[in-house]
Amino acid sequence: MNPSLLQSDHLLSLLLAVPALGAFVVLFMPRQWTRALRLTSVGFMLAEFGLSFSLLSADYSDGGYHFVEKVSWIETWGISYHLGVDGISLWLVFLTTLLTPIALFVSWTSIKTKVKEYALAFLMLELAMLGAFVSLDLFLFYVFWELMLVPMYFIIGVWGGAQRVYAAVKFFIYTMVGSLLMLVAILYLVGAYHQVAGHYSFDLLELRHLIIPRGTQIWLFLAFILAFAIKVPMFPFHTWLPDAHTQAPTGGSVILAAVMLKLGIYGFLRFAMPLFPLASQLIGPTIALFGIIGIIYGAWAAWVQKDAKKLVAYSSVSHMGFIALGLFAMTEHGVNGALLQMLNHGVSTGALFILVGVIYERRHTRLFSEFGGLAKVMPWYALFFVIVALSSIGLPGTNGFVGEFMILVGTFTSNAEVGFGPWGRVFTLFAATGVIFAAVYMLHAVLKIFWGPITHKANEALADLSFREVAALLPLMGLIFWIGLYPATFLDRSEDAVNHFVQDFTAKYDASKLDDSLRLWGVPPAAAEAVADNPAPGDAPSVVADAAGGAR
């Protein structure tokens, strides 16, 4: 690749172009060339992963956006092709570019039919997910957001299990309904912006400065979070997840759990909360409450599952509850922990789905009652599984502990007006019980699968992990320990953006709660100028303070 291109201002476009180009190449390859199709698609994905390392060349300590690209797309509606990456999206981009090739790689042999379409679906999925993570324009984001559904719908519906159509339709309708309300809210927001500013804009960085009346904020916020809460998924909108996971092929489950669920939380963090700070402060504790319900409820539901994949799916509900809790704590520790835990959940749950897929491929069943005593015949498999299970429990030394601990600290210290107020401590107490229940259901699973005598003849001659499976799992194992032992590598690059986000949110909330003009729509002139002068401002709180001052 041309080195000058890597240093160019179009790095993010290039990142989006690689999977698109891969899809284009795959499209014109003969479908019988299964091996070549697999190699090509994984090759493009690995190149993409390599390319994402050039994102590290920027200095993220200013907390702002980097590699920003802005090109007007549909000028009359104020829609632009606006990309940028900051410390918050940086690691999520990495998560995507790492997990996608792994997910495709683990399905190397289990997917035998329509290999070409399968590879195409994954390349498109990667493009859509990356696009959603780097979009700074609401229209562009929405396009990518919806684009994700299509390949995933086919991955579940075509290569899934026996009830794949039911699961795929459920997944599609569920997420679609949520997104449509968000679209309505976006359009409403843009219309209002036109009225006060005189021009249309879908640009997040411009819309952020809009002063929105309290009541309207609540409605718009609710419309946004419905879409995101379904994606996360938060209790009680989670029931599509166990069905989707059990029916999806292993690769689909991995991407779904590891990356797509993160987009829900990312949506809160990037769009819903900065756009509607008053509403999000008002409703945040309630969402956190649902997060806590999800933590305990998901753990209990996981405990009684008979199917290993369902157990992992419900454990996701529990873990995502933790992340939501940390996010709405609105303390630096809480949000940093939530962001780190997003990575952790991606790594650990991705690995768990791969591991469940391993025994499914060998026995074509995932029922606990069909296993037992596997530690004897599959020692490597047992070692990997136990490590990932311990990371999921949050054992110190693994990644799970760092995120969970920071979230607990963040929740406990969230006792100011912005945050949980008096509820922070109560929330911490309940969330901590989730740690115990995680140990209960995870070790229960380990006990059932690995320990005790071998009770089924078919298990006596199971092959241990193959080279390909080890190769797919090793990077994830490495990350489990890397994040667990030296989280600074990751936190150092992300925490400034997060801290700015928290300070910005707090400042904006403090300024606007006293502001009487909040009953009206408006754009503070100072902010409008700031936007005009600097199309990609760092999230400097001073701009916001000016904005609030100008409105008064």
Q: Between β-strands 79-85 and 66-74, what pairing exists: parallel, antiparallel or unpaired?
A: antiparallel
Query: Does position 428 bind other proteins by CB under 8 A?
Result: yes
Q: Which residues lie closer than 8 Å to 140 by C-beta, 6 or more apart?
A: 73, 79, 80, 81, 82, 83, 131, 202
| CA distance to 166, 190, 396, per residue, from 83 (Å) | 36, 19, 37
Torsion of CA 310, 256, 356, 110, to 10 degrees: 130
Interface residues for other proteins in 297-326 (CB under 8 A)? 297, 300-301, 303-305
Task: Pick between residue 75 and residue 417 the one whose CB is nearest to other proteins.
Answer: 417
Query: Does position 471 bind other proteins by CB under 8 A?
Result: no
Task: Pick between residue 70 and residue 376 the one whose CB is nearest to other proteins.
Answer: 376
In terms of C-beta density within 10 A (0-12 exposed, 13-18 middle, 19 or more buried), how is residue 443 classed?
Answer: middle
CB of 304 to other proteins, least distance (A): 4
Query: Does position 456 bind other proteins by CB under 8 A?
Result: no
CA distance 443 to 426: 27
Cβ(295)–Cβ(304) under 8 Å? no
Find the part of the chain contacting other proteins (CB under 8 A) among 259-267, 322-330, 444-452, 527-535. 444-452
Query: Does position 491 bind other proteins by CB under 8 A?
Result: yes
How many residues touch other proteins (CB under 8 A)? 58
CB of 312 to other proteins, least distance (A): 15
Can you tell me which of 191, 215, 379, 525 binds other proteins, judged by CB under 8 A? 379
Cβ(67)–Cβ(4) under 8 Å? no
Task: Pick between residue 299 and residue 551 the one whose CB is nearest to other proteins.
Answer: 299
> H or E element: which one contains 68?
strand 66-74
Query: Does position 365 bind other proteins by CB under 8 A?
Result: no
Query: Does position 104 bind other proteins by CB under 8 A?
Result: no
Question: Would you call 80 helix, strand, or coil by DSSP?
Answer: strand
Question: Is cis: bond before 233, omega within 30 of 0?
Answer: yes
Query: Does position 432 bind other proteins by CB under 8 A?
Result: yes
Task: Pick between residue 174 and residue 385 the one whose CB is nearest to other proteins.
Answer: 174
CA distance 246 to 360: 11
User: Which tokens is 90 given?
Assistant: 């940086």
Task: Pick between residue 115 and residue 311 the one whose CB is nearest to other proteins.
Answer: 311
Find the part of the chain contacting other proteins (CB under 8 A) among 30-38, 363-371, 482-490, 510-518. 482-490
Task: Pick between residue 30 and residue 453 the one whose CB is nearest to other proteins.
Answer: 453
Cβ(535)–Cβ(84) under 8 Å? no
Interacting residues with other proteins (CB under 8 A):
170, 173-174, 235-236, 238-240, 297, 300-301, 303-305, 332-333, 336, 373, 375-376, 379-380, 383, 390, 393, 395-397, 401-402, 405-406, 408-409, 412-413, 428-429, 432-433, 435-436, 439-440, 443-444, 447, 450-453, 486-488, 491-492, 495, 499
